[in-house]
Amino acid sequence: MDFGSDRVFKASIIFTIRKKAISAIKKNPYFYLGVFFIIIIASLLRLYNYFDRLVILGDSSRDAQIALYAVRNFTVPQIGPFAQAPFFFGPWWYWFLGLTYFLPLGIFSPWYVSTLLSFVFVYIMYVIGHKIGGGEVDGSYTGTVCCDIPCSNRQLF
C-alpha cells in the first residue's frame, strides 16, 4: 500500500477547495465581507458573558438528565416532554441532546452545539435574504436581524 498517494490526494482536495473559495471571494467580495461582519456581531452578542448566562433550571436540567441517561444506558427515548396539555412533544429534542453528548465537550455539550448552530442560522438567513432580495443590502438586513434573536440577551449587560 502506498500511503504517499493518499496524502497527495488529500492535499489536492484541500487545494481545490481553497482555490474555489478564493475565486468565490474574489468574484463577490462584498457578500463575504458582509457575512464576516455579521458573524462578528453575532459572536459578540452570543459569546459575551457566555458562562454567566448559562442558566440551568427545571426544564433544561430535566432534558439534559434524560438525554445523558439515554446515552449512558444505550437507550432511545420514545416520547418527548410533556406539553402541559393532553399530549406530548416528539422525542427529537432528546435525540438531538443525546447526540451532542457523544462530543467530547463535557456536560455543557448541548449548549455549545446550540450556540454553534445559531451561527449557522445567521449565515443561512443572510444567504436567504441575499437570494430573495437580490442584493447585499437585503442579506445584511436579514443577517443583522438574526444576530439579535437569541433570547439569552436578557442578561447581556
Concatenating the DSSP letter of every residue in 4-63 gives: HHHHHHHHHHHHHHHHHHHHHHHHSHHHHHHHHHHHHHHHHHHHTTTTTS----HHHHHH
Burial 5-16 (b: 16+ CB within 10 A, else e): eeeeeeeeeeee
Q: Is the pLDDT of residue 138 over 60?
A: yes
User: 155 pLDDT exceeds 50?
Assistant: no
What is the tens place of the pLDDT at every residue in 62-108? Answer: 888 888 888 888 888 887 777 777 777 778 888 888 888 888 888 88
Helix (H, G, I), strand (E, B) or coil at 79: coil
Q: In terms of pTM, does the model score above 0.85?
A: no
Tell me if 115 sits within 8 A of 46, measured CB to CB. Answer: yes
